[in-house]
Amino acid sequence: MVSIYFAAKNTIYKAVEDDGWTLQEIEGPEDIRSVAYDEVSGRLYAGTFNKGLHASDDGGNSWQQCGADVLHPRVMSLAVSRTEQLGEFSVIWAGTEPSMLYRSEDGGMTWTDSPALLELPSEPEWSFPPRPETHHVRTIQLDLHEAGRIFVGIELGGVMRSNDNGKSWEDRKPGSHHDSHSLEAHPYVAGRIYEAAGEGFAESKDGGDTWEKFNEGLGGYTYMVDVAADPGNPDTLLASVANGPYQAYLPERAHTRIARRTGEGGWTFIDDGLPEPDGSSVFALLTDDTQKGVFYALNNTGLYISKDAGMSFKKAEMDWPKALENLRIIDAVLVN
């Protein structure tokens, strides 16, 4: 049974597939920017823009704030480890604005930071254009094959790598993009890391040692917000793209598409089963490690599922709240 948690404004939604799809609304903290779920403990996390990190152990009926004395109040990204559990909790990582990465081993009650991240030579150049006085950790990807290896994407700064759980860091490398939006690792093929960025797509096939950019076929749609790889084939990818940030996020002015790449070919656009680009805000893309060839795409218009490795989609039938049609999906996570 697949469950997808996703956030829009002050609400978390839980879509569940069990003899059809159902959708549950969960009242969350104010202005959610990131969500995560610990399958070991059952704890649900929500990071907010100005109210810090919150956690729920009862499916969102009640929330408690975590790490208020340590974390910056703007928690922009979260990642729960699939491979590292200590006691009843999985290790969780939080990325904030201003940029800092934090680690918790006890469900978010206590945290350690990673000050070496801000000692990188490129740090003085980091800046987020809408708030140029600052920048943030937009995305966190834990290596699924190499213990202690972590990638973070700084918006706007680039992809940084640590091989020792954040004690030290390597600066951005040639071939990666600087306006990093999403980082993904392949669950079964070691070394494959994918980056979606404001300048397009980049990937590493050697665990972040080297990177290569690839935008062939995207045309003007090089503003890439998310990327996902087929669990059954590391060379089959989907990406959510737009012409620029103005057309990406708010439904009233959105114009976005999904692009597909397989093998050594260029990107092609997918239309079968998907909504019209106009009014369709940028998709969150998800996969399930146990389902080869299956992709989930989620935005303001609904949840769409592909079972043919991204060549076509079908909309999931469920009661879709009218309010969601006018909201951007901020973050989403799939759990089993």
- Residues 233-242 have pLDDT tens digits of 999 999 999 9
User: Do residues 105 and 155 lie in contact, with contact meaning Cβ atoms separated by under 8 Å?
Assistant: no
Q: Does the global pTM surpass 0.95? A: yes
Q: Which two tokens stand for residue 333?
A: 């996570």
With 90 as the cut, is the pLDDT of residue 336 above it? no
pLDDT-derived band at 19 (thresholds 50, 70, 90) equals confident
Q: Please, what is the average pLDDT of the chain?
A: 97
DSSP secondary structure, 77-125, as one string: EEEEEEEEEETTEEEEEEEEETTEEEEESSTTSS-EE-GGGGGSTTGGG
pLDDT for the residue numbered 1: 84
Q: Cα angle vertex 131, ends 243, 49, to 5°?
A: 95
pLDDT tens figures, 151-161? 999 999 999 99
User: Do residues 335 and 16 lie in contact, with contact meaning Cβ atoms separated by under 8 Å?
Assistant: no
Cis peptide leading into residue 98 (ω within 30°): yes
User: Do residues 12 and 60 lie in contact, with contact meaning Cβ atoms separated by under 8 Å?
Assistant: yes
What is the Cα–Cα distance from 208 to 167, expressed in whole angstroms? 17
pLDDT tens figures, 52-67? 999 999 999 999 999 9
CATH no. of 2-335: 2.130.10.10
Q: Which two tokens stand for residue 108?
A: 């978010």
CA 305 to mean position of chain CA atoms = 18
Q: What is the mean pLDDT of residues 321-328?
A: 95
Can you give the residue ranges of every domain in the chain? 2-335
pLDDT tens figures, 113-156? 999 999 999 999 999 999 999 999 999 999 999 999 999 999 99
What is the Cα–Cα distance from 32 to 79, expressed in whole angstroms? 15
Q: Which two tokens stand for residue 20?
A: 């059809």
Write the burial class of residue 133 (CB in 10 Å: 0-12 exposed, 13-18 middle, 19+ buried): exposed
Task: Give the chain's count of helices (H) and strands (E).
Answer: 0, 27
Distances in Å between the Cα of 85 and the Cα atoms of 95, 106, 259 are 19, 9, 36
Give the N- to C-terminal CA distance of the chain in Å, as an integer. Answer: 6
pLDDT tens figures, 32-86? 999 999 999 999 999 999 999 999 999 999 999 999 999 999 999 999 999 899 8
Distances in Å between the Cα of 267 and the Cα atoms of 116, 178, 256 are 37, 21, 15
pLDDT-derived band at 285 (thresholds 50, 70, 90) equals very high
Distances in Å between the Cα of 201 and the Cα atoms of 82, 152, 185 are 25, 16, 14
pLDDT for the residue numbered 220: 97
pLDDT for the residue numbered 324: 96
Place of tokens 């390597």: 170
Q: What is the mean pLDDT of residues 305-312?
A: 98
pLDDT-derived band at 318 (thresholds 50, 70, 90) equals very high
What is the Cα–Cα distance from 261 to 216, expressed in whole angstroms? 10
Q: What is the mean pLDDT of residues 104-120?
A: 97
What is the Cα–Cα distance from 225 to 231, expressed in whole angstroms? 20
Return the CA Rg of the chain.
Answer: 18
Place of tokens 């006085």: 133
